[in-house]
Amino acid sequence: MSLIDTLKTKKVTLNQIISLVLLAVSGLVAINIFQKQNKGIAQMVRLQDEERNKNDVLRRIDELKKKMAFYREMLQPKGRREIINTITNLAKNTLVDIVSLRPGESQGPGRGAKRQIYYKTFFHLIINVKSYRQLNRFINILENSPMVFVIESLRITKLVVADLVSRPDKLVVEVVISKLSI
């Protein structure tokens, strides 16, 4: 039996066949459109993720630029007078007596294997302190100050005064400090 004979016996009309064909074709078209839209949505999600990653990288770059500007300002060359005033103020804040403060030589960037990008300006400092705790406080404040100071050398001797009743023992500290700058 042929298809036409089957259709005649079942009494299927031509309109019903056309409707079924149109329904099948429209279903295929809808599936195609749906798949294209899903691809478009997936591509948009991927592009959003890429943009978020780029924004994160740009945010990190901006943070690093701010840090570099901060360190550049911190490591900016300062005048010797400004450095001496800073050391003097830090000593006053920790109740340290400055006996002597004199600038030393400066050391520039090296060449060859020992190439450096920073300068060191040295200062020789002699101070009197009452205790190791006071010395520790002064050194901590000095090394944590906005200027970048490094303790190059430190020598401690005890000062004994003949009249122990009027003056307690003091520590005499000789310190070589360097101020780093770019």
CATH dotted code for 80-181: 3.30.70.60
Q: Give 118-148 pLDDT, tens digit per residue.
A: 778 888 999 888 888 998 999 999 888 878 8
**pLDDT attached to residue 59:** 93
Q: Give 28-71 pLDDT, tens digit per residue.
A: 888 888 888 888 888 999 999 999 999 999 999 999 988 888 77
**pLDDT attached to residue 112:** 47
- Alpha carbon distance 178, 100 (integer Å): 16
pTM: 0.54
Q: 76 or 123, which is more confident?
A: 123
Domain ranges of the chain: 3-72, 80-181
- Alpha carbon distance 67, 56 (integer Å): 17
**pLDDT attached to residue 12:** 62
DSSP states of 79-126: -HHHHHHHHHHHHHHTTPEEEEEEEEEEE----GGG--S-EEEEEEEE
**pLDDT attached to residue 48:** 92
**pLDDT attached to residue 56:** 93
Residue 151 CB contacts under 8 Å (≥ 6 apart), including other chains: 139, 142, 143, 175, 176, 177
26-36 b/e (C-beta count within 10 Å ≥ 16 → b): eeeeeeeeeee
